[in-house]
Amino acid sequence: MSHKKQKFDLILVFMPAFWLLSTIPAYAYLDPGSGSMILQVLLGGAAALVVILKLYWNRFLSLIGMDRKKRKMQN
């Protein structure tokens, strides 16, 4: 691995960590309704991601050459 690639990877790892650790307090109130909405959005996004992966999984496998139908036909 080149020196530039290693340096870029190091920056890519430490920049988000520095950003998360250097936050200041917001002094804001998060009521239960807002927390519930945030949780609902996160769970809905995760469910949508699972459905999308399930729908396109066979296409992905055939793209990388691991199609089940082709393997069954060869055997």
pLDDT in tens, 12-48: 888 888 888 887 887 888 788 998 999 999 999 999 9
Average pLDDT of the residues in 58-64: 83
- In sequence order, which residues have a C-beta less than 8 Å from that of residue 70 and are 6 or more positions away? 62
Burial of 61 (0-12, 13-18, 19+ CB in 10 A): middle
Distance CA 42, CA 34 (A): 12
Domain ranges of the chain: 3-74
Give me the pLDDT at residue 68, please: 64
Render 6-29 in DSSP notation, one character per residue: HHHHHHHHHHHHHHHHT-------
Give 1-12 pLDDT, tens digit per residue: 677 788 888 888
